[in-house]
Amino acid sequence: MPSANDVKTGQALSLDGGLYQIVDHTHTKPGKGKAFVKMKLKNLDGGGVVERTFRPDESVDQAIIDRREHQFLYRDDLGFHFMDNESYAQLAVHADDVGDAAHYLREGMTVLLPMYAGRPISVDLPAAVELEVAEAEPGVKGDRVSGATKPVTLETGLVIQAPLFVDQGDVVKVDTRTGAYQTRVT
């Protein structure tokens, strides 16, 4: 088992019967007293963020997360259904585990599913996805003010702010981390 000083941001730990991901990791040596490692940890089961302090030589239980490529198939009452690209096995992921990624999933899309003990814990999306505009108010000719935006609804139901020239049927690239419009593809 690694010590608290050896782990890095982004790794997963098994602490107190729960699964946590390291969001922030700092080693501090105060002027007086002993050094310590302060970690900000995100609970992957419940979603809450906690702060814990460890001695630098204290052992922590590192969780092994297996990331596999899956293809998103469809959504129904049971959740989101994915197919493993290697074994072609299908699995349903509960909506709580998918979280905000649901706004960016479209059928046929390939994503990474982090698995812990054979159970999916979340959905890792690419940095940007291309989605079709389902609804948009038409742009008025001559109304091309620089930087002006309007709300548009995408094929997944997500509403974003896009420039006035974006129309219904266009395909736009959206940043999955912020939900912001990036560019028009077609």
Q: Where are the domains of the chain?
A: 12-63, 66-120, 128-184
Question: Sorting pLDDT into bands at 50, 70 and 90, what band is 89?
Answer: very high
Q: Would you tell me how many other CB atoms lie within 10 Å of the CB of residue 35?
A: 12
Q: Report yes or no: 35 and 28 within 8 Å, Cβ to Cβ.
A: yes
What is the distance between the alpha carbons of residues 123 and 112, in angstroms, rounded to a whole number? 6
Q: Specify the higher pLDDT residue, 119 or 162.
A: 162
Q: Which residue has tokens 């608290």? A: 4
- Please give the CATH topology (third level) of the domain spanning 128-184: OB fold (Dihydrolipoamide Acetyltransferase, E2P) (2.40.50)
pTM, rounded to two decimals:
0.73
140 pLDDT above the threshold of 80:
no
Structure tokens that stand for 121 in this block:
């814990």
Q: Are 61 and 14 in contact (CB under 8 A)?
A: yes
- CATH code of 66-120, in short, is 2.40.50.140
CA atoms within 13 A on the CB side of 59: 2
Positive or negative, the CA dihedral 115, 116, 119, 121 is negative
Please check whether the two domains, 66-120 and 128-184, share a CATH topology.
yes
Task: Give the mean pLDDT of the chain.
Answer: 88
Question: Which residues make beta-bridge pairs with 21?
Answer: 12, 42
Q: pLDDT by residue (tens digit) across 157-184?
A: 999 999 888 889 999 999 998 999 999 9
Fold of 12-63: SH3 type barrels. (2.30.30)
